[in-house]
Structure 1
Amino acid sequence: MPPMLGSTLQGDSMALRSLAPVPHSPYQGLRRWLAASGLAAACCIALVNQPAQAQDAPRQKTESPYFHVPNGDPALDLLPLKSTSVSVNISGVIADVTVIQRYKNEGTRTIEANYVFPGSTQAAVHGMEVRLGDRRITARIREKQQAQQEYDNAKQAGKTAALLEQHQPNVFKMHIAHIQPGDDIQVELHYTELLPPRTGSYQFVFPTVVGPRYNSPQSSQAQAGWVAQPVLPAGQASSTTFDLQLALRTPIALQGLASPSHAIQSAAQADGSTLVTLQPGGKPGNNRDFILDYRLAGAQISSGVMLYQGKDENFFLALVEPPKAVPASAIVPREYIFVVDISGSMHGFPLDTAKTLLRALVGPLRPSDSFNVLLFSGSSRFLNPESVPATRANIDQALHLMDETTGAGGTELVPALKRVYATPKAPDVSRTVVVVTDGFVTVESELFALVRSHLDQANVFAFGIGSSVNRHLMEGIARAGMGAPFIITQPSDAATQAERFHQMVKSPVLTGLQARFAGLDVYDVEPEHLPDVLGDRPVVLFGKWRGKPQGQLVLEGRSANGSFHQVLSTQTVSDTPALRHLWARHRIASLSDQVGLDGSDALRQRITDLGLAYSLLTQYTSFIAVDEVVRNAMPHDSTLVKHPVPLPQGVDNLALALRAEVSSTPEPATWGAVLVLLSVLALLARRQRRLRAQRWTA
Structure 2
Amino acid sequence: MATWRNRLGRRRNRVTRRSRVWLGSLAIMFGCLLVLALKPLTYQSIPEGHDPEDKTLSPYFVVQGGDPETDALPLKDTRAEVKIAGKVANVTVTQVYKNQGKKTLEAIYVFPGSTRAAVHALRLTVGERIIDAEIMERQKARQSYEEAKKTGQTASLLEQQRPNVFQMNVANILPGDEVKVELKYLEVLKAEDKVYEFVYPTVVGPRYSNVPATGAPDTEKWVENPYLHQGQAPPYTFGLTVEVRGGLPLAKLASPSHEVKINYINPQVARVTLADEKTGGNRDFVLRYALAGDRIDTGLLLYPGKEENFFLLLLEPPDRVKKEAVVPREYLFIVDVSGSMHGFPLDTAKALMKNTISSLRPQDFINVLLFAGASTVLSESGSLPATDENKKRALEFIMAQPGGGGTEIVPAFQRALALPRTKGASRIVVAATDGYVAAEAQLFDLIHQNLGDANLFPFGIGTAVNRFLIEGMARVGNGEPFIITNPAEAAKQAARFQSYIGSPVLTGIKVAFQGFDAYDMEPQALPDLFAHRPLSLLGKYRGTPGGTVVVTGKTTTGDFRQEIKVVDGQGSQANEALKFLWARERIHGLSDYERLGRDKDAAKIKEITDLGLKYSLMTAYTSFVAVDKVKRADGTVTTVKQPLPLPEGVSDLAVGNGGYGPGVITKLGALPQAGSAMKEETAGLSGLPPSPSPPPGIPSGPPAAGREQKPAADIPSLTVSILRVVGPMEAAAAQQALEAKLSRFEKCYRDAKAQGVKLPLPVKLQVIIGPEGKATEVRQVGQAAPSASLLKCLMAAVKETAFPKPASGQVEVVVQFKVTGR
Q: TM-score, normalised by structure 1?
A: 0.60
* CA distance in 2 between partners of 1:544 and 1:253 (Å): 32
Q: Is the 8 A contact 1:150 1:624 kept in 2?
A: yes
* CA distance in 2 between partners of 1:657 and 1:598 (Å): 31
CA-CA distance at 1:162 after TM superposition: 0.9
Corresponding residue number in structure 1 for 2:584? 585
* CA distance in 1 between partners of 2:513 and 2:580 (Å): 22
Corresponding residue number in structure 2 for 1:536? 532
1:67-216 matched pairs, under 5 angstroms: 67-71=62-66, 73=68, 75-195=69-189, 201-213=195-207
CA-CA distance at 1:134 after TM superposition: 2.1
* CA distance in 1 between partners of 2:469 and 2:114 (Å): 21
* CA distance in 2 between partners of 1:588 and 1:337 (Å): 39
Q: Is the 8 A contact 1:460 1:483 kept in 2?
A: no
CA-CA distance at 1:501 after TM superposition: 4.4
C-alpha distance after superposition, 1:605-651 (max 9, x if no partner): 3322222222222222222111122211x212x22233233343344
Give the one of 300, 317, 320 matched to 1:305. Answer: 300
CA-CA distance at 1:258 after TM superposition: 1.6
Give the one of 496, 502, 510 matched to 2:498. Answer: 502
SS of alignment partner, residue 89 of structure 1: strand
Q: Is the 8 A contact 1:139 1:625 kept in 2?
A: yes
Give the one of 692, 697, 716 matched to 1:672. Answer: 716
My pick for the range that moved more, 571-580 or 476-485, is: 476-485
SS of alignment partner, residue 570 of structure 2: coil
Corresponding residue number in structure 2 for 1:608? 609
Question: What amino acid does structure 2 have at the position aligned with 1:240?
Answer: Y
* CA distance in 2 between partners of 1:143 and 1:103 (Å): 26
Question: What amino acid does structure 2 have at the position aligned with 1:639?
Answer: T
CA-CA distance at 1:260 after TM superposition: 0.7
Question: What amino acid does structure 2 have at the position aligned with 1:573?
Answer: G
CA-CA distance at 1:262 after TM superposition: 1.5
After superposition, the Cα gap between the structure-2 partners of 1:673 and 1:625, relative to the gap in structure 1 and judged at 3 Å, is same
1:490-529 matched pairs, under 5 angstroms: 501-509=497-505, 515-517=511-513, 520-529=516-525
Corresponding residue number in structure 1 for 2:281? 286
Q: Is the 8 A contact 1:196 1:202 kept in 2?
A: yes
After superposition, the Cα gap between the structure-2 partners of 1:582 and 1:300, relative to the gap in structure 1 and judged at 3 Å, is closer
CA-CA distance at 1:274 after TM superposition: 2.8
* CA distance in 2 between partners of 1:171 and 1:525 (Å): 27
SS of alignment partner, residue 185 of structure 2: strand
SS of alignment partner, residue 600 of structure 1: coil
CA-CA distance at 1:196 after TM superposition: 5.9
* CA distance in 2 between partners of 1:436 and 1:238 (Å): 37
Q: Is the 8 A contact 1:216 1:222 kept in 2?
A: no
Question: What amino acid does structure 2 have at the position aligned with 1:578?
Answer: A
1:199-598 matched pairs, under 5 angstroms: 201-213=195-207, 224-233=220-229, 237-238=233-234, 240-250=236-246, 255-268=251-264, 274-280=269-275, 284-295=279-290, 303-322=298-317, 330-331=321-322, 461-462=455-456, 478-479=474-475, 483-484=479-480, 501-509=497-505, 515-517=511-513, 520-530=516-526, 534-550=530-546, 553-555=549-551, 560=557, 565=562, 567-568=564-565, 570=567, 571-574=569-572, 575-592=574-591, 593=593, 595-598=595-598
Q: State which structure, 1 or 2, has the greater radius of gyration over its C-alpha atoms.
A: 1
SS of alignment partner, residue 151 of structure 1: helix
Question: What amino acid does structure 1 have at the position aligned with 2:584?
Answer: R
* CA distance in 2 between partners of 1:242 and 1:655 (Å): 23
CA-CA distance at 1:293 after TM superposition: 1.9
Q: Is the 8 A contact 1:93 1:202 kept in 2?
A: no
* Higher RCO (C-alpha under 8 Å, 6+ residues apart): 1
CA-CA distance at 1:436 after TM superposition: 7.2
CA-CA distance at 1:277 after TM superposition: 1.8
* CA distance in 2 between partners of 1:472 and 1:663 (Å): 27
Question: What amino acid does structure 2 have at the position aligned with 1:610?
Answer: L
C-alpha distance after superposition, 1:309-361 (max 9, x if no partner): 444333222222347xx57xx457979798999xxxxxxxxxxxxxxx9xx99
CA-CA distance at 1:100 after TM superposition: 1.0
* CA distance in 2 between partners of 1:550 and 1:598 (Å): 42
Q: TM-score, normalised by structure 2?
A: 0.52
* CA distance in 2 between partners of 1:496 and 1:261 (Å): 16
SS of alignment partner, residue 106 of structure 1: coil
* CA distance in 2 between partners of 1:681 and 1:563 (Å): 71
Identity of aligned residues (%): 41
CA-CA distance at 1:680 after TM superposition: 13
After superposition, the Cα gap between the structure-2 partners of 1:200 and 1:162, relative to the gap in structure 1 and judged at 3 Å, is same
Corresponding residue number in structure 2 for 1:621? 622
Question: What amino acid does structure 1 have at the position aligned with 2:61?
Answer: Y
After superposition, the Cα gap between the structure-2 partners of 1:299 and 1:109, relative to the gap in structure 1 and judged at 3 Å, is closer
CA-CA distance at 1:178 after TM superposition: 0.7
Q: Is the 8 A contact 1:512 1:532 kept in 2?
A: yes
Question: What amino acid does structure 1 have at the position aligned with 2:66?
Answer: N
Question: What amino acid does structure 2 have at the position aligned with 1:540?
Answer: S
C-alpha distance after superposition, 1:191-210 (max 9, x if no partner): 22344666663322212222
* CA distance in 2 between partners of 1:436 and 1:651 (Å): 25
After superposition, the Cα gap between the structure-2 partners of 1:259 and 1:604, relative to the gap in structure 1 and judged at 3 Å, is same
CA-CA distance at 1:172 after TM superposition: 1.6
C-alpha distance after superposition, 1:433-486 (max 9, x if no partner): 868799xx9x989x99xx9xxxxxxx983479xxxxxx9999778537874379
Question: What amino acid does structure 2 have at the position aligned with 1:244?
Answer: L
Q: Is the 8 A contact 1:505 1:536 kept in 2?
A: no
Alignment RMSD: 5.7
Q: Is the 8 A contact 1:160 1:627 kept in 2?
A: yes
SS of alignment partner, residue 635 of structure 1: coil
Q: Is the 8 A contact 2:119 2:185 kept in 1?
A: yes
Corresponding residue number in structure 1 for 2:8? none
Q: Is the 8 A contact 2:88 2:188 kept in 1?
A: yes
After superposition, the Cα gap between the structure-2 partners of 1:252 and 1:595, relative to the gap in structure 1 and judged at 3 Å, is farther
* CA distance in 2 between partners of 1:601 and 1:69 (Å): 45
Q: Is the 8 A contact 1:99 1:188 kept in 2?
A: yes
Q: Is the 8 A contact 1:67 1:656 kept in 2?
A: no
After superposition, the Cα gap between the structure-2 partners of 1:339 and 1:145, relative to the gap in structure 1 and judged at 3 Å, is farther
After superposition, the Cα gap between the structure-2 partners of 1:312 and 1:69, relative to the gap in structure 1 and judged at 3 Å, is farther
CA-CA distance at 1:259 after TM superposition: 0.5
Q: Is the 8 A contact 1:67 1:658 kept in 2?
A: no
CA-CA distance at 1:292 after TM superposition: 0.9
CA-CA distance at 1:103 after TM superposition: 1.6
Q: Is the 8 A contact 1:263 1:282 kept in 2?
A: no
Corresponding residue number in structure 1 for 2:599? 599
* CA distance in 2 between partners of 1:680 and 1:241 (Å): 48
